[in-house]
Chain A
Amino acid sequence: MLRLEKLVKTYKTGDQALKAVDLEIPEGQVLALIGPSGAGKSTLIRCINRLVEPTSGKVYLAGTELTGLSSGALRRERRRMGMIFQEYALVERLTVMENVQSGRLGYVGFWRSFLRKYPQADVDEAFRLLDRVGLAHMADKRADELSGGQRQRVGICRALIQNPALLLVDEPTASLDPKTSRQIMRLICELCKERGLAAIINIHDVALAQRFVQRVIGLRFGAVEFDGPPEALTPDVLTKIYGEEDWEATIEKVDDEDTIEAAE
């Protein structure tokens, strides 16, 4: 569904953020991207929808090559890639509904969006999505009135209303408390399952990633160090990705949390 071929990104400063990354993601697979800060995780997902222009390499989304597209064609392809951001990235002075509807901008003309006259089908879908994440009653609130967890739910709605085939998720839980983090991760993974979406999730919390995803990619210095199922993440592997540290606690925590969850 998504295929990266020898993707390279070298910043103007000379830092090589990605070194010839090859990656293939089948339809409907939820994948976690882990790695230390500065390993190129954010750069990788931003190179896919070209918020960051890759230096070289190819990106294929369902057969369409993205890196060579004109700006108009790129806009059309961006509609099929929903993005969820670390600090939510809602437009704070717009209402919740406007923020969700902004996911439809690639489909409606300028005047329609300027006058906020969205097609009824879009409005209905927005309410359906907001209801799904439990925020339908917040539609007319301004985005900056919401709590972190609520904002991220709006961010999820905004990505989903694009009717994407792929979700690009950049540190969805980095600014959330542990409980909200789990709820948000669960919500994203459930929605991906419901809609058969593939997703790339950048995440720092290894334990959280292990709980929810089917496949883990470990990135270090812009290169893929590990590619496998979450169970295969052993202390040795984590040392290879992050460097020397006592990893037993991190991995065991998964089981602990499971028992707590079960006990609840």
Chain B
Amino acid sequence: MSASEISLEARLGQPWKKPPFIQRPWLRWTLIAGFVAYLIAAYLTIEVNWARVYDGLERGKQFVLAFTSPDFTTRSSDIYEGMLESILMTVAASVVGIAISIPIALGAARNVAPLPVYLICRAIIAISRALQEIIVAILLVAIFGFGPLAGFLTLSFATIGFLSKLLAEDIESMDKVQAEAIKASGARWMQWINYGVQPQVMPRLIGLSMYRIDINFRESAILGLVGAGGIGATLNTAFDRYEYDTAAAILIIIIVIVMALEYLSGIIRARVQ
């Protein structure tokens, strides 16, 4: 039955083909047919009102054209204030969020923390990740009122879920022997973390932190839409007033800052390896 039982003479001169990924032919063909049927069905369910699209194109064109004449000046003080608020929110939320994330990440790494601590920290991470930023922001705006305080708290909360989870995973995949060697010298727990664990996860921590600052800045532009302060509020107002040129100016500034952060984080990550 198996290929190995065919004699060498019978094999020589025969072409060789990679065995198919799915062995059973009927299953393979059923899956392929199902996939094609899905594509057709999905295509048929798309409903487009072409008259509506035609009208909308004009508005879309105006919006795109606004980027050729962005208006930085008319609302410059609004933009400046919004931007400053966003940056403050980003920096404060990142610092606080990262500072809280580190102990939670240690607690959420199974190879470092005992089981009860592990479960508590994983629960905190799960809650933070389950609640979408916008929902948290709406809740916090309801509690603390409009303004950057709600935004700051939202971003800090979201940072904890993101950073703790990824850092904990890095701690769990660290080289065990290096940490073991520190333990063997009679180090206490804190010393063990400081010497055996921290050096191994430091580059990852810095890289993730930079990435999170980047995300926090972008999020701060969204949070304004639900009243949590920052440049998003200014952007929202500009759209409401159909001031596409001001909106374009704000978007350009956001893009430039995000790109600058991306570039900076690239440099820093390369340095800390």
Of the residues A86, A91, A107, contact of B195 by C-beta under 8 Å: A91
Scoring B180, B181, B184, B190 by chain A CB atoms within 10 A of each residue's CB, the highest score goes to B184
Of the residues A89, A102, A110, contact of B177 by C-beta under 8 Å: A89
Q: Which of B154-188 contact A (CB under 8 A)?
A: 175, 177-178, 180-188
Smallest CB separation, B191 vs chain A (Å): 5
The reply to whether B178 and A102 contact each other, CB–CB distance below 8 Å, is: no
* Complex Cα gap A103–B191 (Å): 11
Smallest CB separation, A259 vs chain B (Å): 38
- The verdict on A198 contacting chain B, using a C-beta distance below 8 Å, is no
* Complex Cα gap A90–B187 (Å): 15
Contact with A along B182-215 (1 / 0, CB 8 A): 1111111011101110011011000000000000
Contact with B along A85-112 (1 / 0, CB 8 A): 1110111111000100011111100100
The reply to whether A105 and B191 contact each other, CB–CB distance below 8 Å, is: yes
- The verdict on A58 contacting chain B, using a C-beta distance below 8 Å, is no
Q: Which residues of chain B have C-beta atoms less than 8 A from A67's C-beta? A: none
- The verdict on A158 contacting chain B, using a C-beta distance below 8 Å, is yes
Select from chain A the residue with minimum beta-carbon distance to B192.
Answer: A105
The reply to whether A103 and B185 contact each other, CB–CB distance below 8 Å, is: yes
Of the residues A89, A91, A104, A113, contact of B199 by C-beta under 8 Å: A91
Q: Assuming A83-B181, A114-B194, A158-B181, is B186 touching A94 (CB within 8 A)?
A: no
Segment with Cβ contacts to B, from A7-15, A74-82, A124-132: A74-82
The reply to whether A98 and B187 contact each other, CB–CB distance below 8 Å, is: no
Q: Which residues of chain B have C-beta atoms less than 8 A from A75's C-beta? A: 186-188
The reply to whether A102 and B182 contact each other, CB–CB distance below 8 Å, is: yes
Select from chain A the residue with minimum beta-carbon distance to B183.
Answer: A51
- The verdict on A173 contacting chain B, using a C-beta distance below 8 Å, is no
Smallest CB separation, B272 vs chain A (Å): 9
Select from chain B the residue with minimum beta-carbon distance to A103.
Answer: B185
The reply to whether B186 and A91 contact each other, CB–CB distance below 8 Å, is: no
Smallest CB separation, B222 vs chain A (Å): 37
Of the residues A76, A91, A107, A113, contact of B181 by C-beta under 8 Å: A91
* Complex Cα gap A22–B4 (Å): 51
The reply to whether A94 and B195 contact each other, CB–CB distance below 8 Å, is: yes
Q: Which residues of chain B have C-beta atoms less than 8 A from A86's C-beta? A: 177
- The verdict on A49 contacting chain B, using a C-beta distance below 8 Å, is yes
Q: Which residues of chain A have C-beta atoms less than 8 A from B181's C-beta? A: 83, 85, 89-91, 102, 155, 158
Of the residues A89, A98, A113, contact of B178 by C-beta under 8 Å: A89
The reply to whether A91 and B182 contact each other, CB–CB distance below 8 Å, is: yes
Binding site for B on A (CB under 8 A): 49, 51, 75-79, 81-83, 85-87, 89-94, 98, 102-107, 110, 113-114, 155, 158, 162, 168
Residue pairs across A and B with Cβ atoms less than 8 A apart, 27 shown, are A51-B184, A75-B187, A75-B188, A77-B186, A78-B183, A78-B185, A85-B177, A86-B177, A89-B181, A91-B178, A91-B181, A91-B182, A91-B195, A93-B199, A98-B195, A102-B185, A103-B185, A105-B187, A105-B192, A106-B185, A107-B186, A110-B188, A110-B191, A113-B187, A114-B191, A158-B181, A158-B185
